[in-house]
Amino acid sequence: MAEDEGGLGYGSGTFHFSVQVPIDGKPATVGNGTHIAFAVEDRSMVNRFYAAALQYGGSDNGAPGLRPNYDANYYGAFVRDPDGHKIEAVTYSAK
């Protein structure tokens, strides 16, 4: 379990479930305060997740790329589903 002022993460090894304070400081509502993240094996899976999400009605909320402020190998992509929920695919793999 990991906890800081911005949220709470639960899982073993990498996080599996995370509850976060809305990054914009506004009250939690549908799509604000919810963030579903899927740990994937490598960067190509992040890229495929992002492309498929956009193809099937999702919208961009952060293109695939490194997020070194989280971790040197943190590679993720963020989308919003048609209902506005934030969904991410992430890997810590350097591949």
User: Tell me: the pLDDT tens digits for 28-84?
Assistant: 777 666 788 888 899 999 999 999 999 999 999 999 999 999 999 999 999 998 888
3-class SS of residue 38: strand
Cα 17–Cα 48–Cα 7 angle in degrees, nearest 5: 20
Q: Residue 19: what pLDDT?
A: 67
Measured distance CA(95)–CA(92) in Å, rounded: 9
pLDDT digits (tens, 9 = 90+) for 76-94: 999 998 888 889 999 999 9
Report the b/e string of 60-75 with b at 16+ CB within 10 A: ebeebeeeeeeeeeeb
- Please give the domain boundaries of the chain with CATH numbers for all domains: 2-91 (3.10.180.10)
Distance (Å, whole) CA 34 – CA 4: 16
- The pLDDT value given to residue 21: 76
